[in-house]
Structure 1
């Protein structure tokens, strides 16, 4: 059905430069997106990939502050262990050395806030007893730098490339309040978490909050074509209005922004998700899958933690379960497991010592069970 939509669009309009133009397919997509967005997010700036949407969000936040009486706010905050893409702006608000170290001399200077680490909690809390004591790091950073910060960007609830680190919705609620207190814009990077990955349409929905700017991609087009959107509020949108000579328009465009072919795929994807109740079915499978993870890995001597949100499941492999001591990166444990699983036709994508499942929402239980079997066998071959 998605392929048919794409083929049909090819014969109608394959491309048009989106600067000063629009087209029926993108208007239809905008109308569909409004129905599923968190409250207040209703203005769409289309780009062609996830990193481009991050660049768009950063520029939008900076320019909005610069021309709306907040020109003293010029800096960005982000989490430690963050990942937001690999263009220069995106790298600057990330914090994973393997991607950014070589480019540090030409990157933007940003403010790093210590991210939550619920598995190795420095406050000796567990997920059940946590009251977000670690939020004090954010409070201290805002107290020191909030006056000069235009926006904070986050991966809501799941720091993916850092090892599928999951933190509680309460932290996100507190962060929304803190941003409001210091007049700092909140940018949510939902590129990896959006469109049902976490059990709700967007990860921020778990906390019941709305960011000021949100970046979406990946699931938007069902993996068919490149497309991303930087979504904002009326307040931000109106901050770019003025007379021509005021020069306050947001000058950010890409050749393939709002491409009709990608938009047709996104429309078909959203139509199917709503019509076939894909999210409800995925959530039913998520409960089953998490139970299977615990059945298989709870007693494994090298599985330190099982993490889950929606259909995303991850296991962190450790050398010592009691002390939570991880394997040295030089051992390349994750890569060795990947090689073993590949022999049986399963492609895993380890994040260091973290093995994770982030499957299609329509995957079957039989496919998941077979994947788990191979994953477990590969782990045992390498570690036992």
Structure 2
């Protein structure tokens, strides 16, 4: 379920076929591994998965570490996979293997950054310091397009030197460093601190869990996955997926729209990602609409 974008490079490291198959002749080779998922209320099962997939990852490092350019991971949550929450401490295990085998760790926090998982950056929750940290979305609050790549001093210094040394990192595009977008980012960062957005995000996470709790009793709700303000409500029929042609997830979003709420679905997973700065009353309304819409459609 890996997804990191739609350039040739990011499509190469993605694993979702419908996003990349058309371009497969252009993509470079990648080694993938599965990610252990969080298993709420079943710590023993989650621990078993963590040990199994950490072992598989270690085996891949032993086989490929000399040719790996880096490890790319979306910390704590795979958003485009349907809000798949990772097992606790998996990110730190990955970081440990990267340091042991001298491989760069690249943390894609475009979706999970700026408070969505409960901390400013998801990596903080497991004490991980990646070599490269990729940011966007919440960086400007969504008002203007901007992305940033943060790197360690070691990586920065590798491209620093006199022109004759030939160390310049020749990569950029026409709109790099757009001043208006950068001003929006600075304003957003100031508001995150001044308005105590991280504190609000913590409250919203509790509200989401409480208001969506009735859906756990719905016979057609297979699972509710949540990390901070990121939630995925998976719809199924008796534990089995609905026929694709029914487009149940899409039908639920249409029912939400009739009630004045615009949401997206990923197949039959209803995705909720309210802004960490959103008022609690609106999140309560959002959850009520989702509950009503699921009850209407998933029968």
TM range, normalised to the smaller chain?
over 0.9
**In the TM superposition, what whole-angstrom CA distance separates every residue of 1:67-114 from its partner, at most 9, and x where no partner exists?**
xxxxxxxxxxxxxx1000011111001011111011111111111112
In structure 1, the residue matched to 2:226 is: 308
**More displaced 10-residue stretch of structure 1: 129-138 or 182-191:** 129-138
In structure 2, the residue matched to 1:66 is: none
In structure 1, the residue matched to 2:5 is: 85
TM-score (norm: length of structure 2): 0.94
Offset, 1:130: 5.7
Distance 1:306 1:228, change over 3 A: same
In structure 2, the residue matched to 1:102 is: 22
Is the Cα contact below 8 Å between 1:156 and 1:189 reproduced in 2? yes
Offset, 1:127: 4.2
Distance 1:140 1:331, change over 3 A: farther
Q: Does 1:380 align with 2:299?
A: no
Larger relative contact order, structure 1 or 2 (CA cutoff 8 Å, min sep 6): 1
Is the Cα contact below 8 Å between 1:119 and 1:305 reproduced in 2? no
Is the Cα contact below 8 Å between 2:37 and 2:49 reproduced in 1? no
- 2-structure distance, mates of 1:326, 1:381: 18
In structure 2, the residue matched to 1:354 is: 269
Offset, 1:131: 4.3
- 2-structure distance, mates of 1:126, 1:134: 12
In structure 1, the residue matched to 2:115 is: 196
Which structure's CA Rg is the greater one?
1
Query: Matches of residues 1-384 of structure 1 in structure 2 within 5 Å?
Result: 81-118=1-38, 126-127=45-46, 131-294=50-213, 296-321=214-239, 325-384=240-299
Is the Cα contact below 8 Å between 1:332 and 1:352 reproduced in 2? yes
Q: 3-state DSSP class of the match of 1:375?
A: helix
Runs of 4+, deviation exceeding 6 Å? none
TM-score (norm: length of structure 1): 0.74
- 2-structure distance, mates of 1:340, 1:234: 50
Distance 1:368 1:210, change over 3 A: same
Distance 1:330 1:119, change over 3 A: farther
**Where does structure 2 lack aligned partners over 5 or more consecutive residues?**
none
Distance 1:275 1:133, change over 3 A: same
Offset, 1:285: 2.2
- 1-structure distance, mates of 2:250, 2:119: 31
Q: 3-state DSSP class of the match of 1:141?
A: helix
Offset, 1:329: 2.7
**Where does structure 1 lack aligned partners over 5 or more consecutive residues?**
1-80
- 1-structure distance, mates of 2:233, 2:271: 6
